[in-house]
Amino acid sequence: MPKKHLRNVLYLVFVLLLGAAFVLATQVYTPQAQIQQTNLVTAIEQVAKQAVPAVVHIEVTERQEIANPLLPFENEPFFKYFFGNPNKMPKKFKREISGLGTGIIIDDSGHILTNYHVVGGATDIKVLLADGREFTGNSVKTVGTDPKTDLALIQIVEKGPFPHLSLGDSNKMEVGQWVVAIGHPRGLDQTVTQGIISAKHRTGISDPSSYQDYLQTDAAINPGNSGGPLMNLNGEVIGINAAILSESGGFEGLGFAIPSNIAAHITQELIKNGKVIRGWLGVSLQSITPELAKSFGLSSNKGALVADVVKGSPADRAGMKHGDVVIAYQGNPVDDPSSFRNSVSLAPVGSEVKLTVVRNGAKQDVTVEVGSMEEQEKEVASSLKQQFGIAVRPLAPQEAAEYGLESQSGLVVTEVDSKGPFGKAGFEKDDIILQVENNPVDGPDTLLALLSTLKQKHEATVLAVDHKSGQSTAVQITLP
């Protein structure tokens, strides 16, 4: 056969094979794509049908007494001229605040998981089920709350049965996987939205002293969704919707959920103890900057730098030192201080954990016995008094209301050494500490951690409330 004819035949065969391959690919791919599309639609529909009955609408009422805002001026001549005898002026006013949110029934006993910021401080809680049942007053009790993770557990004390949902494994979720959010945004009951997991391990979203490890999602979340479930397509709760980032106050594609693995641990602690018992090592931590990584001879800026070790703490007894860089916890890499702190908090008190640290350029393992919060409180109180000449306690909700404070985070000064840095700056007993360097403080441990990470002789800015006038002011404190 001439070469020219042979080329034509081969070309024809090639075209026929290419056409056959295209037809085959079309026959295989198109129906499969249709099946996947149909399954996605069906899956979201099935998740919604299964979950909506177990997602509850929560309405709360908080009654507060607040100080009269005119009290600081009662002795001023101008005030007396216009308002007369200040002794006849009411010292306090009563007000009532209403709010709403969402909750998830997690068992047949009527336990409902929600956000702390939904029910914390509430004097009345009303729970409405999708089937029309309503529970309020003595029918609903608060089992326990945990402000540090923004989680709370309430319970319908009447007998069920109650529809309920299971908590899945949030660690198995990957970026790009589909999720479904259910809640009551702006009071619109049983609203279902869908999206994907946009990112994992988000921090810096809320109070820096809290335990943060958020799942980020673009599923629509709005005010009223708080406490509702973020679910995978298997119908499992893999997150508790808690926060949004928004300039408008509404949905802008940046929603955040507390991972279900954290929620499961907190739930068990609240049911068992009514509070959360966390592990504690006794170290103050800071992030590794590129400059610090270079100075410590690290290959990356991952890890947690030990800025301070509380004297007498488990870390101190184990020989940990200022300047250690924690790069692994129980054999798993440590990405940053937040993830390390979260891992330690979940460790059982009394258990031993192995840390890998870099000290003077060399790696070494350190075994630490996890301490308790009670031990922490004792050691923190001792350190605050010795280093900074101050003793504090958490601000009570009613005290925050009396001073008209929007946040309940803060510390009341119970003792102050006049020769210490706080005493020299003019602090007195019963003054309230709200922030240090623009960071909120909600516990003595937070105050110690924030102060310990600042340099010696640093001029720290402390936002405080004067207990006499009720006025907030920024105070400069020179650290020892």
Judge whether 57 counts as a catalytic residue.
no
Distance of alpha carbon 322 from alpha carbon 359, whole angstroms: 9
Question: Would you give the end-to-end CA distance of the chain in angstroms?
Answer: 99
Distance of alpha carbon 56 from alpha carbon 117, whole angstroms: 16
Please calculate the CA angle 324-326-330 and round it to the nearest 5 degrees: 140
Instruction: Give me Rg for the CA atoms of the chain.
Output: 28
Question: What's the gap between Cα 158 and its chain centre?
Answer: 30
The set of residues, in sequence order, having a beta carbon less than 8 Å from that of 346 and lying 6+ positions away, is 262, 265, 278, 279
> Which residues make beta-bridge pairs with 134?
128
Judge whether 117 counts as a catalytic residue.
yes
Catalytic residue, candidates 209, 226, 284, 383: 226
Judge whether 150 counts as a catalytic residue.
yes
Q: What secondary structure, in 3-state letters, does 257-281 show?
A: EEEHHHHHHHHHHHHHHCCCCCCEC
Catalytic residue, candidates 57, 111, 117, 184: 117
Q: Six-digit token pair at 402?
A: 């009396």
Query: Cβ(325)–Cβ(296) under 8 Å?
Result: yes
Catalytic residue, candidates 57, 111, 146, 150: 150
Distance of alpha carbon 305 from alpha carbon 227, whole angstroms: 34
Burial (CB < 10 A; 0-12, 13-18, 19+), residue 316, is middle
Q: Six-digit token pair at 203?
A: 């921090």
Q: What secondary structure, in 3-state letters, does 143-196 show?
A: EEEECCCCEEEEEECCCCCCCCCCECCHHHCCCCCEEEEEECHHHCCCEEEEEE
The set of residues, in sequence order, having a beta carbon less than 8 Å from that of 474 and lying 6+ positions away, is 461, 462, 463, 464
Q: What is the largest CA-CA distance in the chain?
A: 122
The set of residues, in sequence order, having a beta carbon less than 8 Å from that of 45 and lying 6+ positions away, is none
The set of residues, in sequence order, having a beta carbon less than 8 Å from that of 451 and lying 6+ positions away, is 387, 388, 436, 460, 479
Residue 240 corresponds to which amino acid?
A: I
Residue 77 corresponds to which amino acid?
A: P
Residues annotated as catalytic are 117, 150, 226
